[in-house]
Amino acid sequence: MARIPLTTFAAVIVHIATGSNLGTRIDHLDRADAELSRLGRVLRVSPTYETAAVGMAPGTPDFLNRVVEVELDPAWADNPEGTMQALLDIERDMGRTRVEGNVSSRPIDLDIVLWGDRSLDVEALTVPHPRMMGRRFVLQPLADLVPGVSVPGSGQTVLDLLRGLPADVPDIAPWPTA
């Protein structure tokens, strides 16, 4: 009887920052969490935080943000470009319109901030996310999930980066607020 060789699959855990500042923001985040199951198994979801729309016009609605931890299915684990395209497809399906070079309000924003312990620099995707290290609205929910994880290329853990943010980085608030 012939034996079928067993293949081994090393699980890849990604952390995806999610945000919304249009419409029923929490419903958009909840739907995005469900849509991320297209990529694999959603393991955990951080608490939700509210933050001002940094770098946007006065009066722009505040964002709700959180981080989702996903164990990628084997089909996605070695396909960062395809995974990013799947996130862009989810954004489009949820009503986001991207305009190159324009920062605008959106029903959903999905960014891969960590790809296991790897650094990636491929077309249209850099991981760790290039701006995450200065964003409390990414680092706080990420620290809620993986405070001791070393951020590739930084020499620091997520919690170290959060604690080291300058005082002028905008605060965030747990949501819903009491």
In angstroms, rounded to a whole number, what is the distance separating the alpha carbons of residues 58 and 94?
A: 25
* Active-site hit among 25, 106, 135, 136: 106
Tell me the three state secondary structure of residue 44: strand
Q: HSE, CB side, 13 Å, CA atoms: give it for residue 119.
A: 8
Taking each helix axis from N to C end, the angle separating 80-93 and 25-35, rounded to the nearest 10 degrees, works out to 140
Query: Has 111 been annotated as catalytic?
Result: yes
Q: Which of 25, 31, 111, 136 is catalytic?
A: 111
Of the candidates 31, 66, 96, 135, the residue annotated as catalytic is 96
**Closest among 104, 98, 99, 172 to 142, alpha carbons compared:** 172
Is 118 among the catalytic positions?
no
Active site residue 96: yes
Which is the catalytic residue, given 25, 31, 109, 136? 109
41 is catalytic: no
Distances in Å between the Cα of 124 and the Cα atoms of 41, 50, 121, 127, 169 are: 24, 27, 8, 10, 26
Catalytic (active-site) positions: 96, 106, 109, 111
